[in-house]
């Protein structure tokens, strides 16, 4: 399967801990996106990369959130000092070019105890 891959699928952690998620995009896609989705809402944009460059970050992305895509391939999203409000599904998507369809991974569901 050459789709978008996300790990882990589920993460349960205590408030205040740090967590890191990984996303492997479709191999030829140079654009990679992170979204967050809570129940009853559509995905909300967090940040995106073109190759290794992080081109935009949402105002939703506080300084506790950081994302990297060091070699323009996989990406990581880290949340430091997690809070209850961080509980959500974190989705990664990739696309070949700007404006073209984005394909999503299965997501990482984060639960903060």
Residues in touch with other proteins (CB under 8 A): 33, 40-45, 48, 56, 58, 89, 91, 98-107
Residue 101: CB minimum distance to other proteins, A: 5
- At residue 14, the 3 state secondary structure works out as coil
70 versus 101: smaller Cβ distance to other proteins? 101
Q: Give me the least distance between CB of 50 and other proteins, in Å please.
A: 11
The smaller minimum CB distance to other proteins, of residues 18 and 62, is found at 62
Closest CA to 30 of 5, 51, 48: 51
- Least distance in Å: CB of 84 to other proteins? 20
Minimum CB separation of residue 64 from other proteins in Å reads: 20
Q: What is the radius of gyration, based on Cα positions, of the chain?
A: 13
Tokens of 59: 């105002």
Half-sphere exposure of 55 (CA within 13 A, CB side): 12
Complex with other proteins: residue 22 or 80, whichever CB lies closer: 22
Evaluate the omega torsion of the peptide bond into residue 8 and state whether it is cis, within 30 degrees of 0: yes
Contact 6, 108 (CB under 8 A): yes
C-beta of 2 vs 14, nearer to other proteins: 2
């Amino acid at each position: 399967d050459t789709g978008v891959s996300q790990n882990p699928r589920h993460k349960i952690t205590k408030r205040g801990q740090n967590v890191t998620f990984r996303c492997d995009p479709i191999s030829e896609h140079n654009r990679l996106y992170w979204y967050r989705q809570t129940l009853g809402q559509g995905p909300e944009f967090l940040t995106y990369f073109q190759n290794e460059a992080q081109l935009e970050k949402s105002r939703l992305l506080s300084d506790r959130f950081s994302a990297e895509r060091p070699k323009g391939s996989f990406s990581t999203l880290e949340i430091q000092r997690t809070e209850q409000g961080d509980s959500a599904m974190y989705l990664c998507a990739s696309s070949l070019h700007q404006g073209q369809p984005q394909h999503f991974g299965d997501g990482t569901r984060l639960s903060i105890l």
